[in-house]
Amino acid sequence: MKHIVIIGGGIAGIETASALTDAGHWVTVIEKEAQVGGKLNNWSYLFPDFTPVDKIKSVLQEKCSEKDFSILHQTEVSSIHRKNGKFNIEISGEHQLEADAVVVATGYELFDARRKEEYGYKIYDHVITSADLEQLLLPNGDLTVAAGENPKRIAFVHCVGSRDEKSGNHYCSKVCCITGVKQAIELRKRLPEAEIYCFYMDLRMYGKRFEELYREAQEKYDIEFIRGRLSEASEKIDKSLLIKAEDTLSGRPLKMNIDLLVLLVGMEAGKGTASAAASCGIGCEDSGFLKTADSFLKSNFSEQEGIFLAGSCTAPMSVNDTILHARSAAQEVNNWLLRR
């Protein structure tokens, strides 16, 4: 029986583990947190059809409990060494695991919005990120702002920490556009009276039913999309916000008073990704995400034989893309082990 170690117990890790267990392998998942699910745990509903996250999470949980693979919680990998065609994986500094193959499924980090200081995240009271908003969108979430009132005017800023030379991230995080549309609609449902604006550069509605949702957001939910990036925000005495932007379609600067500002934060490679990658000899892209051996045919292969990649550690990815990528990783690992 071949032993496969999977680093990361998010969607990609669990999905790969489940598929490889089905294929008859012995699988161990290493997860740094106390529970599996990764970033999914911060989310409430998924685009484009508002699927409750709990639905996906419970499937993952089921797989964890029913399938015969083990999960090492609150455990981190210290080093990976290749020895006699196998991998020696040192975990949390003491134990060692031996594996025939390794799958890296370490996922992503959310962009730290404090780095765009001009938007005032953690400086002004009513500037939040899309991840913060997701918690507030739960049925019991409290959306009130100053003086206990619901916000009357809300603005979303797209591309915070993505496609932004100044924050050092040139790439597109892919999922924030549709997340913004989804969250704007959810807010509209909760706050029928509010004015909702989205400030965008482009709207990249690449996926199935995304464009339709965007159209619906405008036609049915009366959400206003303004093409232009926010330059800065400032806080007034009553804790409302004054934002400055340029409407690039009408070609003029604009100022607006709002009650709540939502920053659609992008994805970044995990903090430890570069050093971890270096320690086991696999490369990173300029973006910081892990390099795949071939972008068409080997998107689950790292530059090292026997080390595979699954999910958003390779690039920003939506939940459904991650599931597919994880399943294909399992397939590739299985084929590779059979060939040996």
Partner 1 sequence: METNPFIWPFTIGLLFISCFLIIIVSIWISGLSHIDKSRIVHSIFTRKSLLAIRETFMESLLHRKIFRKNLVLGYMHMSLAFGWFLLIVVGHIQAWNYYRSLSVPAYKAIFFRYFVTEPATTLSEKTLAACVDLLLVFILSGVMLAYFKRLNSRVFGIKKTTKLKAGDRIALTALWLIFPLRFLAESVSAGIHHNGSIVSQPTGQILSSLLPVHSLEMPLWWAYSLALTLFFVSLPVSRYMHIPVEVVLIFLRNYGIRIKKRIDGYSRIQVYSCSRCGICLDSCQMTHAEIKDTQSVYVLKHIRNKNLTDEKLFNCLLCGRCQSDCPVGLSLNDLRITQRIESTKEYNSSYEYLKNGPVEVSPQTEVIYFAGCMTHLTPAIIKSMKEIFAVARVKYWFMDEDKTSCCGRPLMQVGQYEAAKKLIGHNQERILASKANKLVVSCPICFKVFNEDYALPGITVQHHSEYLLELMVNKRLPMNKMPLRVVYHDPCELGRGSGIYHQPRLLLDEYAEVIPVKNEKETAFCCGGSLANIKIQMNERNQIRDEALEEYLSYRPDVLATACPLCKKTFAKSNKLPVHDIAEIVYMAIQEKQNLQKTEYKKEMKMEFWK
| 166 lines the binding site for partner 1 (CB under 8 A) | yes
Cβ of residue 160: shortest distance to partner 1, in angstroms?
A: 14
| 118 lines the binding site for partner 1 (CB under 8 A) | yes
* CA-based nearest residue to 169, from 159, 181, 180: 159
Residue (120 or 266) nearer to partner 1, CB: 120
| 270 lines the binding site for partner 1 (CB under 8 A) | no
Q: Using the rule CB under 8 A, which residue among 9, 10, 37, 120 binds partner 1?
A: 120
Could you tell me the two tokens for 131?
């991840």
Q: Using the rule CB under 8 A, which residue among 44, 75, 106, 167 binds partner 1?
A: 167
| 252 lines the binding site for partner 1 (CB under 8 A) | no
C-alpha torsion 173→174→176→180, nearest 10: 160
Helix H or strand E encompassing 109: strand 108-110
Q: Using the rule CB under 8 A, which residue among 138, 242, 249, 278 binds partner 1?
A: 242
> Which residue is it, tokens 């597919």?
324
Burial 236-245 (b: 16+ CB within 10 A, else e): eeeebbebeb
| 130 contacts: CB under 8 Å, gap ≥ 6 | 176, 179, 180, 183, 262, 263, 264, 265
Report strand pairing: 26-30 vs 3-7: parallel
Cβ of residue 118: shortest distance to partner 1, in angstroms?
A: 4
Cβ of residue 76: shortest distance to partner 1, in angstroms?
A: 21
Residue 243 and residue 259 in contact, taking contact as beta carbons nearer than 8 Å: no
Residue 89 and residue 80 in contact, taking contact as beta carbons nearer than 8 Å: yes
Cβ of residue 251: shortest distance to partner 1, in angstroms?
A: 14
| 253 lines the binding site for partner 1 (CB under 8 A) | no
| 233 lines the binding site for partner 1 (CB under 8 A) | yes
Task: Give dist(CA 315, CA 173) in Å, integer.
Answer: 8
Cβ of residue 166: shortest distance to partner 1, in angstroms?
A: 7
| 138 lines the binding site for partner 1 (CB under 8 A) | no
Q: Using the rule CB under 8 A, which residue among 117, 202, 212, 247 binds partner 1?
A: 117
Site for partner 1 in 8-67 (CB under 8 A): none
Residue (190 or 244) nearer to partner 1, CB: 244
Q: Which spans of this chain sit near partner 1 (rule: CB under 8 A)?
A: 115, 117-118, 120, 123-124, 165-168, 231-235, 242
